[in-house]
């Protein structure tokens, strides 16, 4: 059961990353740097924050607190990345750290207590916490992308008006256990 949990959690993280990937692909650097006003975050800032969080949370996470002394969280909200290539590199670096940390985990690790800002979490709780946090911010990225691209946005899920067609295809297949991301 718990090995299934790890496999499912990794697939969910990959799905979350893929939504961000597909959003970033649709935008140029000016769109990634766009802010509706000075109090909002650009997509580049959201990427920088996600990567900073991932590096802090997942580096040596079984033996060190998830809030590293070298992390400068406030700086994550300063728009300092200026090229699409750099934004993508920061994005990929954060996700790489996450997947390197998760892949070797076993069922025996799931109840291990780890700390984030001195608050104890089982590894399972920490994974769930970060999965929710990353999905929240990737959702912001997707929403920003949709606002910026407007009618030029390429849907990342079932396009409006295609639900019946999508369901017909799904229900035409035999029932079986599979993950919803298997065919993405």
Q: Report the CATH number that the domain containing residue 138 is assigned in CATH.
A: 1.20.120.450
Q: Show the tokens assigned to 69.
A: 């002394």
pLDDT for res 86: 98
pLDDT at 52 over 70: yes
pLDDT for res 15: 97
pLDDT for res 3: 80
> Helices H, strands E: what count in the chain?
6, 2
Identify the band that residue 180 occupies on the pLDDT scale cut at 50, 70 and 90: confident
Alpha carbon distance, N-terminus to C-terminus of the chain: 24
pLDDT tens digits along 80-97: 999 999 999 999 999 999
Does residue 180 lie in a domain region?
A: no
**Dist CA 32 CA 136 (whole Å):** 18
pLDDT for res 1: 45
Does residue 165 lie in a domain region?
A: no
Identify the band that residue 2 occupies on the pLDDT scale cut at 50, 70 and 90: low
Does residue 43 lie in a domain region?
A: yes
Q: How many domains does the chain have?
A: 1
Does residue 179 lie in a domain region?
A: no
pLDDT for res 184: 65
pLDDT at 22 over 50: yes
DSSP 41: P
Does residue 181 lie in a domain region?
A: no
Q: Give the pLDDT mean for 97-108.
A: 97
pLDDT at 43 over 60: yes
pLDDT at 13 over 80: yes
Q: Show the tokens assigned to 50.
A: 């996600």
pLDDT tens digits along 148-169: 999 999 999 988 888 998 888 8
**Dist CA 57 CA 51 (whole Å):** 10
Does residue 162 lie in a domain region?
A: no
Identify the band that residue 182 occupies on the pLDDT scale cut at 50, 70 and 90: confident
* Segments forming the whole domain that contains residue 108: 2-157
Burial 35-74 (b: 16+ CB within 10 A, else e): eeeeeebbbbbbbbbbbbbbbbbbbebeeebbeeeebeee
3-class DSSP assignment, residue 182: coil
pLDDT for res 84: 98
């Amino acid at each position: 059961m718990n090995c299934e949990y790890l496999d499912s959690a990794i697939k969910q993280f990959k799905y979350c990353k893929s939504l961000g990937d597909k959003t970033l692909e649709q935008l140029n650097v000016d769109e990634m740097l766009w802010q509706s006003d000075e109090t909002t975050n650009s997509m580049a800032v959201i990427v920088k924050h996600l990567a900073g969080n991932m590096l802090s949370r997942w580096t040596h996470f079984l033996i060190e607190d998830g809030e590293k002394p070298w992390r400068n969280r406030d700086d994550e909200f300063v728009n300092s990345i200026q090229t699409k290539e750099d934004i993508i590199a920061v994005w990929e670096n954060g996700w790489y750290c996450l997947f390197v940390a998760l892949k070797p985990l076993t069922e025996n690790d799931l109840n291990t207590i780890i700390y984030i800002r001195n608050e104890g979490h089982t590894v399972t709780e920490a994974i769930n916490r970060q999965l929710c946090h990353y999905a929240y911010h990737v959702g912001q990225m997707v929403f920003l992308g949709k606002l910026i691209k407007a009618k030029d946005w390429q849907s990342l899920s079932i396009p409006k008006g295609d639900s019946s067609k999508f369901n017909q295809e799904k229900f035409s297949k035999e029932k079986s256990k599979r993950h919803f991301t298997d065919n993405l």
